[in-house]
C-alpha cells in the first residue's frame, strides 16, 4: 500500500541550529514533492516544490532535497529561529492529477 | 495575494443535522479541494473539483457531498452529520497546471 512517512515525534532544536525533517514514501512515483508549514489552528502554507528531476532546491534559509532512488526528501531550515516552530507537512503529487497526498507532518520546536 | 475564505471558523451541530461548509477563492483557480484533518491521521482528501459542476471523489467521500455551481465557490455538504465527522475541515484551491495549493483557515466542526 502507499505510504508517506514523516517523523511522528516532535523535533526539538536550539535556536541557530539546522533543523532537518524527513519525508519517506513507498509505492509512489511522484512527479514532484512539496513542503508546507502549518501553524496551530490554521491552514497549511506552501513553502517549496521540488520536481523528480531536481536534486535540491533552496529558498532563503530553506533547502529541500529529493532522492527518488531512496524515495526520500529532506527539508532543512538553517539558522533556525523560534518563529520557525510549527508543523511541517510533505505532500506528493503526480502528473496524472492535481490532488496531493500528504504526510501526517512533523512538529518542530525551536527553543531560544 | 491569493485568498481562500471559509464560511465559519467554528461550528457546532447536532447529530442528524444537514451541514453546509462554504469555501470561496478570489484568484480564478480551476481546482478546489476539501480535506479533513484529524490528529494522528493527517490531511485526507474528501472531494475535489477541477471545473464548475465537476467533482471527483477523494480518499474518504462517504457521508459527504459537494457542490460547485460557480468557479469561485466550493461547498461541502454533510447530509446527516454524525459524531465521527467532528474534525477540522480545510478547503484549498489551485490553478490548472500549477501544483501549489492555497488553503483556507479551516472550519473546526463539532458534532454533538
Hey, are the CB atoms on A49 and B50 less than 8 Å from each other?
no
Among A43, A45, A98, select the one facing B94 at the smallest CB separation: A98
In a domain, B93, yes or no: yes
Domain of residue B30, residue span: 4-101
> What CATH number corresponds to the domain at position B80?
2.60.40.10
Contacts B92 to A, Cβ<8 Å = 43
In a domain, B106, yes or no: no
C-alpha cell at A86: 510549527
Nearest to A53 by CA among A89, A29, A75: A29
The per-residue pLDDT for range B26-67, each reduced to its tens digit, is 999 999 999 999 998 989 999 999 999 999 999 999 999 999
Positions in chain A short of pLDDT 50: none
Hey, are the CB atoms on A98 and B102 less than 8 Å from each other?
no
pLDDT of residue B38: 95
In a domain, B109, yes or no: no
The per-residue pLDDT for range A42-59, each reduced to its tens digit, is 999 999 999 999 999 999
Q: Among residues of chain B, what percentage have pLDDT more than 90?
A: 89
How many domains does chain B contain in total?
1
> CA angle B22-B68-B111, nearest 5°?
35
Q: What is the 3-state secondary structure (H, E, C) of chain B?
A: CCCEEECCCEEEECCCCCEEEEEEECCCCCEEEEEEEECCCEEEEEEEECCCCCCEECCCCCCEEEEEEECCEEEEEECCCCHHHCEEEEEEEECCCCCCCEECCCEEEEEC
Q: Give the chain A residue whose CA is nearest to the CA of B31.
A: A98
The per-residue pLDDT for range B72-101, each reduced to its tens digit, is 999 999 999 999 999 999 999 998 767 799
Contacts B90 to A, Cβ<8 Å = 43-44
The Cβ of residue B41 has, within 10 Å, a number of other Cβ atoms equal to 11
In whole angstroms, give the CA distance from residue B3 to residue A108.
Answer: 26
Among B31, B41, B104, select the one facing A98 at the smallest CB separation: B31
Map out the domains of chain A with their CATH numbers. 3-111 (2.60.40.10)
In a domain, B59, yes or no: yes
Amino acid at each position: 500500500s502507499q505510504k508517506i512517512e514523516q517523523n511522528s515525534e516532535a523535533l526539538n532544536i536550539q535556536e541557530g541550529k539546522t533543523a532537518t525533517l524527513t519525508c519517506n514514501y513507498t509505492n509512489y512515483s511522484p512527479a514532484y514533492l512539496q513542503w508546507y508549514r502549518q501553524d496551530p489552528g490554521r491552514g497549511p502554507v506552501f513553502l517549496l516544490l521540488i520536481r523528480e528531476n531536481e536534486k535540491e532546491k533552496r529558498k532563503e534559509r530553506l533547502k529541500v532535497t529529493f532522492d527518488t532512488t531512496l524515495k526520500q526528501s529532506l527539508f532543512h531550515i538553517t539558522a533556525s529561529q523560534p518563529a520557525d516552530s510549527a508543523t511541517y507537512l510533505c505532500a506528493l503529487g503526480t502528473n496524472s492529477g492535481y490532488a496531493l497526498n500528504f504526510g501526517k507532518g512533523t512538529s518542530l520546536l525551536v527553543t531560544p | 495575494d491569493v485568498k481562500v475564505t471559509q464560511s465559519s471558523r467554528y461550528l457546532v451541530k447536532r447529530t442528524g443535522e444537514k451541514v453546509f461548509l462554504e469555501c470561496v477563492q478570489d484568484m480564478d483557480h480551476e481546482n478546489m479541494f476539501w480535506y479533513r484533518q484529524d490528529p494522528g491521521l493527517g490531511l485526507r482528501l474528501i472531494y475535489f473539483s477541477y471545473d464548475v459542476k465537476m467533482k471527483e471523489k477523494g480518499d474518504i467521500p462517504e457521508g459527504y457531498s459537494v457542490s460547485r455551481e460557480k468557479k469561485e465557490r466550493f461547498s461541502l455538504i454533510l447530509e446527516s452529520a454524525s459524531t465521527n465527522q467532528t474534525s477540522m475541515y480545510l478547503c484549498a484551491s489551485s490553478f490548472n497546471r500549477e501544483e501549489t495549493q492555497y488553503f483556507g483557515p479551516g472550519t473546526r466542526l463539532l458534532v454533538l
